[in-house]
Amino acid sequence: MIPIDLRSDTVTRPALAMREAMFYAEVGDDGYGEDPTVNRLEQLAAELCGKEAGLFVSSGTQGNQIAVMVHAGRGQEVICDYQAHMFNSETGGISALSGAQPCPVMAPDGKLTPELIEPAIRERKMNAPQTALITVENTHNAAGGVYYTPAELGAVHALAAEYGIPVHMDGARVANAAVAQGLPLAELARHADSMQMCLSKGLCAPVGSVLVGSAEFIRQARRYRRLLGGGMRQAGILAAAGIVALETMLPRLADDHRNAGQLAQAIATTRLRIDLERVQTNIVLFDTAPLGVSAAEFIVRLREHGILAGNAYGRNKVRMVTHHDVSAGQIEYTISVIQRLAGEAC
Ligand SMILES: Cc1ncc(COP(=O)(O)O)c(CN[C@H](C(=O)O)[C@H](C)O)c1O
């Protein structure tokens, strides 16, 4: 039996239309800027996000870390929230690649606000690191997929502008944030100087992200991608799937959000602990402590029933992520299993 894989939306397989587009993709040498499909993807992403230019990158991590390399360097600091993916799950890239240091800020629901950021902005003193970048994560993974509204982003961007500091958005799931709010991508991207957007998560492309920003930012980002060995050749074969993702796969994210909401509502009827207000998109986090079992134990029991879930955020926290390859019927089955396991646990 093929398991119901709720570990992450990174497991999505390319849609048939993507495979067809990949097969017929017109290609060239992207090293010379001559791959027409890569160029079209980068232009499409920039247009959708209301930015001057875009760069096709191999992953969300590569996009985020290239942005840091452009914005920040040695003796400088990158403000992020303490649960940020860029701080916790990118292999120490801020320090390792840019020589900058992260400045993690305690943000209870993962979302930074001007009140939380301003005290972390360094005074310009000879012996102090210089704040070079402020990052926001939208939606926020470890906080359970919560999104920033345009007003919340605008407040952060306005404060950053007062200090002349750029804002980078880790928009791995910005498409989810936009669809959940019924907004165009540009309405969120406008409050960031640079943004990385994953094509390979809920949007189902097999590989990659797009980094968007000013023409000058992307010119520098392209150089750092090459420095990292990220220059590609006939990458139009991969970019073709990204074009299909951007052109066709955003509206259906609402299905994932509906499935996540149904799952969360059902979990709330059990003894498992869940914060329903945080279930705003396709991520469902719940706590197994009330059952007296660890997340790891609960995940083993789920696996015995053909369901895969994730455990990356503490001893008792289970993460489930809905996506294109999990149907409503599979969600109903998952609910029945969770209710049974929660009922059985001592
Ligand atoms: C907010 C955010 N920003 C960046 C990334 C990195 O994207 P990739 O490097 O995996 O393409 C991720 C991936 N997140 C993955 C997941 O959620 O399963 C794993 C944890 O890395 C992310 O959640």
| 268-315 tens-digit pLDDT | 999 999 999 999 999 999 999 999 999 999 999 999 999 999 987 789
What's the confidence (pLDDT) of residue 111?
Answer: 97
Q: Where are the alpha helices (DSSP H) in 72-149?
A: 85-88, 93-98, 114-117
Is 70 exceeded by the pLDDT of residue 333? yes
Mean pLDDT over each residue of the chain, to the nearest integer: 97
CATH superfamily, domain 252-344, is Aspartate Aminotransferase, domain 1 (3.90.1150.10)
Report CA torsion sign: 237, 238, 241, 243: negative
CATH 3.40.50.150 correct for 13-248: no
CA of 50 relative to ligand 1 center, distance in Å: 23
**pTM for the predicted model, two decimal places:** 0.97
Question: What are the strands, taking DSSP E only, across 208-280?
Answer: 209-213
Closest protein CA for atom 20 of ligand 1: 89
Cα 172 to ligand 1 centre (Å):
7
Atom of ligand 1 minimally distant from the CA of 170: 3
pLDDT, position 346 = 45
Residue 345 is predicted with a pLDDT of 56
ipTM of the complex, rounded to two decimals:
0.99
- Measured from CB, residues less than 6 Å from any atom of ligand 1 are 8, 10, 59-61, 64, 85, 89, 137, 141, 170, 172, 198, 200
**Distance of CA 138 from the midpoint of ligand 1 (Å):** 12
Q: What is the mean pLDDT of residues 22-26?
A: 98
Atom of ligand 1 nearest to the CA of 8: 18
pLDDT on residue 1: 76
pLDDT in tens, 148-164: 999 999 999 999 999 99
Mean pLDDT of 304-332: 95
Atom of ligand 1 nearest to the CA of 208: 11
Contacts of 253 (CB under 8 A, 6+ apart): 175, 176, 179, 180, 202, 203, 281, 282
- b/e per residue 15-32 (b: at least 16 CB within 10 A): bebbeebbeebebbebee
Total Cβ atoms within 10 A of residue 145:
28
Question: Each residue of 95-129: pLDDT tens digit?
Answer: 999 999 999 999 988 999 999 999 999 999 999 99
Convert the pLDDT of each residue in 233-260 to its tens digit.
999 999 999 999 999 999 999 999 999 9
Tell me the CA–centroid distance for residue 25 and ligand 1, in Å. Answer: 27
Please report, for the chain, the start and end positions of each structural domain, with discontinuous segments joined by +: 13-248, 252-344
Instruction: Give me ligand 1 centre to Cα 125, in Å.
Output: 35
% the chain with pLDDT above 90? 96
pLDDT at 314: 84
Length, in residues, of the chain: 346
